[in-house]
Amino acid sequence: MKGDTRQLGFSTRAIHAGQPPDPRTGAVAVPIYQTSTYVQLSLGEHQGYEYARVQNPTREALEQNVAQLEGGLSGHAFASGMAAIASLMTLVKAGEHVVVSRNVYGGTYRYFTQILERYQVAFSWVDSSRLDAVAAAMTPATRLVFIETPTNPVMDISDIAGTAEIAHAHGALLVVDNTFLSPYLQRPLEHGADMVVHSTTKFLNGHSDSVGGALVCARQEEAEWLAFVQKSMGAILSPLDSFLVMRGIKTLAVRMERHERNAAAVVAMLAAHPKVRRVLYPGLPDHPGHEVHRRQASGFGSMVTLEMGTYAAAKALLDNVKVLSLAESLGGVESLISHPATMTHASVPAERRDLLGLTDSMVRISVGIEDVEDLLADLEQALAKV
Ligand code: PLP
């Protein structure tokens, strides 16, 4: 399509934003500019591209696309979700302080505690589903508030607008890791957040064939800093991966709708199943964050956590599924099932996992877009063996 995409609907932007037809050939798909450098016309005269760590047309197309989907000013694509988070954290200096959801992805916890604390950055780990806990943790040195909502894997829900208000009242910025829902279901910048982070490895790419990350900034200051960080630290996404993520995003809306429909059926079956102790899913009316989640998101996503009662029961379920695959990660077209305590959150110490309610009997499911009857039958037969 031609022209400005900013006023168009979500699916139209997902398909077209940042991706006008290639000016030279008319190609509808943005070419993979697999080049490290660009020939200059004469000394001091170039076409806006000098060196591929700094500028690459394929990466730029993805960055503009993600920025438009999240409603931000700038997008920045990185080699992984963790590379995006590492680059983001350059906003914080030694002696400063960060308030963070106590139950974030295990890799984020590992990076903050085992690497950034060595550089005299201080963290307060709070139950961010309680605004009073966030407010109580703020100090004059607080530079960032970093939340996940829903959290991985215990599904705590935080009030984005309320948290933004607290952060801003203390001169801090709010960052939301929106990986679990994608911008199709939740756009934190619309609720006052200053930045959004994604592991594009998950729903944005959606096909379990690329590792990547993205940041979207609402403000000029962070936009300029993060472009400088991409150039200076170089943790950028490759042209091929940028292409793959863009291709994935074109079907984000239809995938998310199917993910959600399948998740609703899986949750209904599991919630009524005698072998399942408890289902943690924000779409369940008795989930403590249900009302807050409904206010700030247009759907509940397809991440579902089960409390199986014992480790043996969890293991039996994990070992007996056939259509679902036992694997780390989430957000792909295929359904994945995992054991957070020993897989995604193994880097969180056991006593800390106890504090979070992240038990050894927990199982996490990323509900894919297969035929739902096959998923239900597979879970039924595996649960029969528990
Ligand atoms: N944030 C969340 C919520 C995640 O689940 C993950 C990975 O599982 C990450 C960030 C890190 O992303 P990546 O694995 O792409 O580095």
- DSSP letters of 14-60? HHHTT-PPPTTT--SSPP----SB---SBTTB-SS-SBTTT--HHHH
Helix (H, G, I), strand (E, B) or coil at 83: helix
Q: Among the options 156, 159, 177, 194, which is catalytic? A: 177
Asked if residue 1 has pLDDT above 90, the reply is no
% of the chain beyond a pLDDT of 70: 100
**Mean pLDDT value across the chain:** 97
- Ligand 1 centroid, distance to 82 Cα (angstroms): 6
Q: Is 22 an active-site residue?
A: no
Query: What percentage of the chain reaches a pLDDT higher than 90?
Result: 97
Of 187, 202, 255, 353, catalytic? 202
> Rounded mean pLDDT of 376-380?
98
Catalytic option among 33, 105, 109, 111: 105
Q: How far is the CA of 199 from the centre of ligand 1 (A)?
A: 5
Find the 178 Cα to ligand 1 centroid distance in Å: 10
CB atoms closer than 10 angstroms to residue 257: 14
Q: Concatenated DSSP letters for 346-373? A: TTS-HHHHHHHT--TTEEEEE--SS-HH
Structure confidence by residue, pLDDT tens digits, 256-302 = 999 999 999 999 999 999 999 999 999 999 999 999 999 999 999 99
How far is residue 108's CA from residue 152's CA, in Å, rounded to a whole number?
11
Q: Give 48-59 pLDDT, tens digit per residue.
A: 999 999 999 999
pLDDT for 303 equals 98
Is a pLDDT exceeding 90 seen at residue 2? no
**Residue 36 identity (one-letter amino acid):** S
Per-residue model confidence as pLDDT tens digits over 194-203: 999 999 999 9
Confidence class for position 139, pLDDT limits 50, 70, 90 = very high
pLDDT of 346 higher than 90: yes
Q: Are 81 and 179 in contact (CB under 8 A)?
A: yes
> CB within 6 Å of ligand 1 — which residues?
80-82, 105, 107-108, 148, 152, 177, 179-180, 199, 201, 211, 213
Residue 156 identity (one-letter amino acid): D
Residue of the CA atom closest to atom 13 of ligand 1? 81
pLDDT of residue 227: 98
How wide is the angle at C-alpha 88 spanned by C-alphas 366 and 289, nearest 5°?
40
Greater confidence, 6 or 84?
84
Question: Across the chain, which distance is largest between two alpha carbons, in Å?
Answer: 74
The token pair that represents 157 in the structure block:
């829900």
Considering the candidates 38, 49, 53, 261, report the single residue annotated as catalytic: 53
Q: What is the pLDDT of residue 182?
A: 98
Domains in the chain (CATH in brackets) are 10-249 (3.40.640.10), 252-384 (3.90.1150.10)
In angstroms, what is the span from residue 44 Cα to ligand 1's centroid? 40
3-class DSSP state of 69: helix
Residue 315 is a catalytic residue? no
Name the one residue in this structure whose structure tokens are 């399509």: 1
Query: 105 catalytic, yes or no?
Result: yes
336 alpha carbon – ligand 1 mean position (Å): 15
Q: Which atom of ligand 1 is nearest to the CA of 212?
A: 15
